[in-house]
Amino acid sequence: MTGQANDAQSVLGACRLGDNADDLYETLLGAHAGLDASASAALNARLVLILMNAVGDEATVRAAIRAARADRVPPAPDDDR
């Protein structure tokens, strides 16, 4: 695994939301209030794209996609790309 991907891995797993984690989580849920499943899915899709762009770094985005796709199983160490 490259050093870059290693960095990405540690960024993904680390606690970065600090004391506001609960607030932010609630804000995320609140954004979906009153939406049916498809509107909710559409909101998530927009949010994912916005966050993907905000993160920007290719290795981090790829690692995030792998992590999400692996259904909480940690990606294998050489599963780069």
Partner 1 sequence: MSRYRHKPFPYTTPPELSGGKPFEAPVVIVGAGPIGLSAAIDLAQHGVASVVLDENNVVTVGSRAICWAKRTLEIFDRLGVGERMREKGVTWQAGRLFHRDREVYHFDLMTEPGHRNPAFINLQQYYVEAYLIDRCADFAGLIDLRWNNRVTGVEQSRDSVRVRVETPDGGYDIEADYLLACDGARSTVRSSVGLDFAGEIFWDRFLIADVEMEADFPSERWFWFEPTFHSGQSALLHKQPDNIYRIDLQLGWDADPGEEKKPENVVPRIQAMFGDRDFKLEWVSLYTFQCRRLERFVHDHVIFLGDSAHLVSPFGARGGNGGIQDVDNLCWKLAAVIDGRAPAALLDSYDEERCHAADENILNSTRATRFMTPDDDAERLFRDAVLALAEDMPFARQLINSGRPSKPCSLAGMALQSDDDEGFDTPVVPGTACPDAVVAEGSRPGWLLDHLGGAFKLLSFGDDPARHDGLGTVCINDLPVDGCTTLRDVDGLVAERYGADPGAAYLIRPDQHVAARFRNPTPQAIGKALARASGKAMEQRS
For residue 21, the minimal CB distance to partner 1 (Å) is: 26
For residue 41, the minimal CB distance to partner 1 (Å) is: 6
Task: Name the residue nearer to partner 1 (CB basis): 21 or 49.
Answer: 49
Q: Please state, in angstroms and rounded to a whole number, the distance separating the CA atoms of residues 31 and 20.
A: 17
For residue 4, the minimal CB distance to partner 1 (Å) is: 22
List interacting residues with partner 1 (CB under 8 A): 41-42, 45-46, 48-50, 53
Provide the b/e sequence for 1-38 (b: ≥16 CB within 10 Å).
eeeebeebbeebeeeeeeeeeeeeeeeeeeeeeeeeee
